[in-house]
Structure 1
């Protein structure tokens, strides 16, 4: 297919496709003339992944490139997962002080208590340590204490994720599942949590069931 059809089938504008080609995110098509190239189904799949990572997952282009490099690597899925986590984890800032040390001990203990085969120096562990250190510094130990309650539920979620990824048809499909599941799974889980927060807050405050409908219609506030 020509680029115009590739654009039509994926919903990605032609200028954006050209940008992805220049950035090396999308492999070039097969040249049929100096100014024409032919694209196939693999380009459609790749464009949809790029769009999902950037537009839904919220990753900047530089991070999308890192994630796609992991997809294209010959590594096993576990190694790819580590590479993807390293790519998407936010910077953790200052890694010293009493709060950081206390948070590091707490995360180490959490991993030991649950028997999780994860390293305290891994990117997600460092992100968790940074969050706990900030909560300790803000005097919100009540929120930090939630990690022990969250951990068993998160483990069940992770097990379900892995079950579905393991159904991949071959190593390439499995690796792609690891990447998409990690990035978009974070987005999905975060959105679900925020929706649940809305529900729980409405219940706690006694907000009526039709509050949002009345608010949208401009009929006033509770």
Structure 2
């Protein structure tokens, strides 16, 4: 039903500061800017950083993860350690480093990328939810499969391109928190069918220039295009 991640949007208090962070420290090229937002290319997925304003605003204190090729991971670690206090975690075959952007988003770089670019994609987004069972049901209706469970969290996978972590309010590795009012866009084979799969479970449905957007019960915005 959904075939991949199109974008992740974050809210930035000061747009120039956020632009400098992502362009300088992570070498993300700017795709476009204007109208209170800057759009970066993160390996084919757009990372959107926008000023507070109209709904949807973009997520706050969102934990998300970039994929980097395994042979680039050590270079990223050494480079970022010069400017940031890093936390590292070994998942048993893959390592990740964690640090924070100027707006309190926990940025992860994991050694799981496939390709030649230093950043190959966004492979994980963490959403804060009030009711795990309710959120799990909604996202499973969109084609996500549960690949890991905890007492206060679920990890769901969309056929490999991206994982969603659904967290009840908590602190994770590096004291990361799940995002609030996160705005994400997904490629959909049939956007209308995706909406119909969750119509009874979402709070709002709206057609946009990009596709069809819904708001889930936890205030996250999902656009299907």
TM-score, normalised via structure 1 length: 0.26
More helix by share: 1
TM-score, normalised via structure 2 length: 0.26
Larger radius of gyration: 1
Higher relative contact order (CA 8 A, sep 6+): 2
More strand by share: 2
